[in-house]
Structure formats: structure tokens, C-alpha cells
Amino acid sequence: MRVAFLLGGAACLALTGCRGQDLGRTLQPGQTWTYRVLAPPMRYVETVRATRNVPVAGANGVELVSGLGTSRLAWKNNVLYASKLGTTFYEPAIPLWSRAAMKHHGRAVAFGKTTPVAGNLTPPPDKSVELTINGQKLKLDEAVIVLSGGGPTREIRTWIHPTRGLVQQEERVNGRLRLQTQMLTTESLAQLEASPKVEPKSPE
């Protein structure tokens, strides 16, 4: 089982309504976002594009594409789900971010091979974590899902800002960093910090 992560594969986790470059809770075809990518030892920049609407976990989701691959994501009942990450399809879709702990049991399909997969999602703690992004400190809510079955243990950590959306994400394989993405902003994170906090909601 190979997880290609979320930048189209990697960063495409959304939160707020579609303001400017926000990676929004209301994901819509035609939107684009830019992320800095660390894939040791390489560092580069990727653009993520929302190309079309697709069903995900019974909700109206979006397919996101970048040089790292393709993801299919949707918000449903305040949970962010992924039915596809890179070359891997998940049946049912896996939860990537939620305010509550969740368990997952299903299968992963890649290159015609099907393997069982189980996961445990740990929600954000009561107190937001503080990370430095683009030289500015930002309070973020971090959730992590650990996936196992048919191969190495994979961990996907997702940091969400209440108005900006996905700001950072990491994938680790057996504890070793495989991929990290950080949003390249076009507006002040300090201004975003002053914005009213809004809980993520599923698309209408």
C-alpha cells in the first residue's frame, strides 16, 4: 500500500469558504493553491488544481491534481475524507481530519492489487499547536491518522487553520518523514489569525 499523500496527493485539505487563495471547505473546480514541498532530500514548489467534482464518502467532493498525483477529497459532517491519494483508492474513504477520534477498516486498491487497511485517527488537542510558517507564527489544529495493513505503517499529520484551511501536512513511513507540504501564502497570516474562527462544515 503506497500513500501518495495530499498535494493532489498532498495538500488538498480544505476549510473555509472560497476567499482568494484559500483552500476552501467549498472546494470548486478551477481553484488553485501553491505549496512548498519537502521530499528529502528535495525541496520544490507545487501548484494544486481542483479539476472536477467527484463523489467521496457520499458527499460532493473534488478531484485535485498536482505533479505529485491526484486526490479525491470531501468534507462530510465536519470530517475530511479521502477516497483517493495518488495511485491508491480507499474503500471506504479514509478520514484525514476530524474533531473526534475515529477508526477505519477497509481496503486499499493500487495497481490492481487489493490489501486490507486499518486506521486510527487522533483528533486535535483542546489547545491549538503553534507552528512557524513562512516566518510567521500561526495557531493550528493538528489531527493524525495512522494506517496499517499489507506493508509499512504510514502516518499522515494534517495541520488546519480555522480560516486558511490546510497550512501544513506530513506523511511518515515507519516514523521517517517522507513528504511535507506547507502553504505559500499571498496574504498575511497575522490577518488570518484575527479572522473569526469557523468550524469546518460539509459541502451543501
Mean pLDDT for the stretch of residues 92-106: 96
Whether the CA torsion 185, 12, 159, 2 is positive or negative: it is negative
Residue, of 195 and 78, whose pLDDT is higher: 78
89 — pLDDT class (breaks 50, 70, 90) = very high
Radius of gyration of the chain, Cα coordinates, nearest whole angstrom: 15
58-68 pLDDT, tens per residue?
Answer: 999 999 998 88
Inform me whether the pLDDT recorded for 18 exceeds 60. Answer: no
Inform me whether the pLDDT recorded for 115 exceeds 60. Answer: yes
Mean pLDDT for the stretch of residues 141-155: 92
- Structural domain boundaries in the chain: 32-193
Mean pLDDT for the stretch of residues 106-132: 93
**Residue 167 near residue 14 (C-beta atoms within 8 A):** no
Inform me whether the pLDDT recorded for 1 exceeds 60. Answer: no
**How high does pLDDT run on average in the chain?**
79
Inform me whether the pLDDT recorded for 157 exceeds 90. Answer: yes
Inform me whether the pLDDT recorded for 156 exceeds 70. Answer: yes
The class (CATH top level) of 32-193 is mainly beta
Mean pLDDT for the stretch of residues 165-185: 87
Inform me whether the pLDDT recorded for 125 exceeds 60. Answer: yes
> Cβ contacts of residue 89 below 8 Å, gap of 6+?
83, 108, 109, 110
- pLDDT at site 113: 92
**Distance of alpha carbon 94 from alpha carbon 82, whole angstroms:** 5
**Distance of alpha carbon 154 from alpha carbon 19, whole angstroms:** 32
- pLDDT at site 105: 97
32 — pLDDT class (breaks 50, 70, 90) = confident
